[in-house]
Chain A
């Protein structure tokens, strides 16, 4: 299947992340890069500007900006030419999907269909064939996997933002090694430790962020939250919020609660969980022989 990768305002992180895909070479056998910003490709960017044939999947990367010119042509013109004939359009990463970090750096910037949560409608004609793969960067397994499933015409259930459910139905919280501290409401957390959960003090957004980070581990080995870094919510429309390392509170409890959990339910649950005083979770994990 023939792929065309067109970057707008990007950091190239999505392109580099893809190279870490563990089965990259085998995966690539099923595809041809008409253009990719790093990898050997069939065409040069100048040729893409002049016009090439045969685009099947158009990959949009980076934040769009009104009037953005790549070389000679406006990005918009380039995009529209290939979007018409492409069978699918995939927004790669949070910038292309929702606007992301760079949308905050200037006027007239957005994702392909969204400005944060709002559908702006400029390219509505292409909405039906668009898939959203947010993430900053998107996990290589998510991008490579989606492209392969599209190729084999596998049905791909999507959520309302057109994110494939296989990869975005879970929250980042699922599979985090700090889950027990969350469940039993042990709200103390210090950086530099294996113990504790960053939800209460340090801004972890894992419980309300859609993504596979703790299910499909990063680089096959680890994740931010396992390594003690709060999830920054990088797959969500409002990334990056302000005050990413602090949990904002309402009447002493975190202002944002786990996806779908009403405040009252959370409060009763927290009350009960706290009452248990799970001693095991209050001791240093590696020093406690009782396990």
Chain B
């Protein structure tokens, strides 16, 4: 006889429910339900397009900056001939990358470690989070919820004194990473392809990964082995991959959203199929050596997913260092784009901490006629059918009663508030 159990999953930037159907001792089917919705897309309709710069960061308290950057990109696409200085572009990339870093630290320490019964001192998460907030604020005014990225650049001017503050904190952050997460040379670690090499080091990451191996969980949480990345910049490559077969070209016209019964979230598919988005997908597209190795051994499991996420930290640290060095302060921070077009359409794509984030808006007679947001969690957590389950669903199906279902679920880093925008 099938047994149905409804479980509350908390501390995922809000909550979700999972309705498990157990057949004997195994999960036969699972449905993920989000009970609330806030209606941000509707709130934006009829407003001045620039208002979106203030409103969309409030979609999410942890990745609000990614929403701001997606909005400004969508707005900028509306202008026929918009100019952006390299400086403004670089500074925006930088604050976005700082948010990714902060999210990665928070997720690893606040979400993952407790589920592995590991404890680290609170300052291991508080310190980097606070410092990264300061680094964003130095450039953008405050964190969370600033609106400093505007069509044509950024609202303020940056001085060498601000950059000095950013540089010093960056150095501090690198030390904290090595002291807490894993004691490695960043440059070497990015090229490392041996799991054992990683496990040998001191730090919370090797400890966590070892714990997963000790408990025999390294193959749990496998899904469809399909990955998608829409954002493209100097760090990430866009494309999709089925297993290790890559395809670079993506076309947003193949993206479809649909409602999910009993839930306030919408699912999203690409050419009729669900895909995993996020750090594991990004690492697969980039062929990051260590993650490819984890994937070769354990597939798209929670082991690979957790490792991929934390291993973005050293990449991001090196990337942001290069960005800081590249800023030419003599360039303008803002170039007047002129009046906003009366009728236009735009799309903004961003790689947020949890994966690809897409904003699309249409402007009619100077007002927002429609605004659509597709969030990473929609890709990863959208429900499918029994025949064709979604990404997280399929990771849960087949688990035994004593398996760590919550860890499998949270290895996707669910963001409930984004999903229930």
Alpha-carbon gap, A65 to B264, bound state (A): 15
Chain B residues contacting A221 (CB-CB under 8 Å) are 134, 137-138, 165
Selected contact of A45 from candidates B15, B58, B150, B155, CB within 8 Å: B15
- The answer, yes or no, to whether A160 is at the interface (CB within 8 Å) is no
- The answer, yes or no, to whether A219 is at the interface (CB within 8 Å) is yes
Alpha-carbon gap, A136 to B55, bound state (A): 10
- Considering the complex, give the chain A residue whose CB is closest to the CB of B35: A69
* A101:B61 contact, CB within 8 angstroms: no
Chain A residues contacting B130 (CB-CB under 8 Å) are 19-20, 22, 24, 219
Q: Could you mark each residue 254-291 of chain A with 1 if its beta carbon is under 8 Å from any beta carbon of chain B, else 0?
A: 00000000000000000000000000000000100000
* B144:A17 contact, CB within 8 angstroms: yes
Alpha-carbon gap, A25 to B305, bound state (A): 30
* A12:B38 contact, CB within 8 angstroms: no
Selected contact of B15 from candidates A70, A191, A218, A222, CB within 8 Å: A70
* A192:B155 contact, CB within 8 angstroms: yes
Q: Could you mark each residue 349-383 of chain B with 1 if its beta carbon is under 8 Å from any beta carbon of chain A, else 0?
A: 00000000000000000000000000000000000
Alpha-carbon gap, A190 to B325, bound state (A): 26
Chain B residues contacting A245 (CB-CB under 8 Å) are 48, 50-51, 53-54, 150
Residues of B1-56 contacting chain A, CB below 8 A:
8, 10-11, 13-15, 17, 35-36, 38-40, 42-43, 47-48, 50-51, 53-55
* B51:A244 contact, CB within 8 angstroms: yes
Contact A229 to B137, CB < 8 A, known contacts A71-B17, A104-B43: no
Chain A residues contacting B106 (CB-CB under 8 Å) are 38
Chain A residues contacting B81 (CB-CB under 8 Å) are none
Among B8, B42, B48, B144, which residue has the most Cβ atoms of chain A within 10 A?
B144
Contact A243 to B129, CB < 8 A, known contacts A190-B334, A218-B141: no
- Considering the complex, give the chain B residue whose CB is closest to the CB of A35: B10
Chain A residues contacting B11 (CB-CB under 8 Å) are 37-38
- The answer, yes or no, to whether B94 is at the interface (CB within 8 Å) is no
- The answer, yes or no, to whether B110 is at the interface (CB within 8 Å) is yes
* B156:A192 contact, CB within 8 angstroms: yes
The total of Cβ contacts below 8 Å across the A-B interface reads 198
Contact A240 to B141, CB < 8 A, known contacts A71-B15, A229-B146: no
Contact A12 to B15, CB < 8 A, known contacts A45-B8, A228-B156, A243-B48: no
Selected contact of B14 from candidates A7, A102, A226, A229, CB within 8 Å: A7
- The answer, yes or no, to whether B336 is at the interface (CB within 8 Å) is yes
Alpha-carbon gap, A199 to B126, bound state (A): 36
Residues of B108-156 contacting chain A, CB below 8 A:
110, 114, 122-123, 126, 129-130, 133-134, 136-148, 150, 152-156
- The answer, yes or no, to whether B203 is at the interface (CB within 8 Å) is no
- The answer, yes or no, to whether A16 is at the interface (CB within 8 Å) is yes
Q: How many residues of B contact A (CB 8 A)?
A: 66
Alpha-carbon gap, A164 to B143, bound state (A): 23
Alpha-carbon gap, A116 to B317, bound state (A): 43
Alpha-carbon gap, A115 to B141, bound state (A): 29
- The answer, yes or no, to whether B74 is at the interface (CB within 8 Å) is no
Alpha-carbon gap, A190 to B155, bound state (A): 9
- The answer, yes or no, to whether A157 is at the interface (CB within 8 Å) is no
- Considering the complex, give the chain B residue whose CB is closest to the CB of A222: B137
Q: Could you mark each residue 172-208 of chain A with 1 if its beta carbon is under 8 Å from any beta carbon of chain B, else 0?
A: 0000000000000000001111100000000000000
- Considering the complex, give the chain A residue whose CB is closest to the CB of B415: A12
Interchain nearest-CB distance for B89 vs A (Å): 13
* B147:A229 contact, CB within 8 angstroms: yes
Chain A residues contacting B153 (CB-CB under 8 Å) are 191-192
Binding site for A on B (CB under 8 A): 8, 10-11, 13-15, 17, 35-36, 38-40, 42-43, 47-48, 50-51, 53-55, 58-62, 64, 88, 106, 110, 114, 122-123, 126, 129-130, 133-134, 136-148, 150, 152-157, 159, 165, 332-336, 417
Question: Lowest 6 CB-CB distances: which A-B pairs, in order?
Answer: A192-B334, A105-B39, A13-B61, A227-B141, A228-B156, A218-B142
Q: Can you list 16 contacts pairing A with B, beta carbon distance less than 8 Å?
A: A7-B14, A20-B130, A38-B11, A191-B150, A191-B333, A192-B153, A213-B142, A220-B134, A227-B141, A228-B156, A229-B148, A229-B156, A243-B47, A243-B51, A245-B51, A286-B159
Q: A101-B58, A191-B153, A240-B54 are in contact. List 19 more A-B contacts (CB 8 A).
A: A10-B61, A11-B59, A11-B64, A20-B130, A38-B11, A39-B110, A102-B43, A105-B43, A106-B39, A191-B336, A192-B154, A193-B333, A219-B130, A220-B134, A221-B134, A229-B155, A242-B48, A242-B51, A244-B48
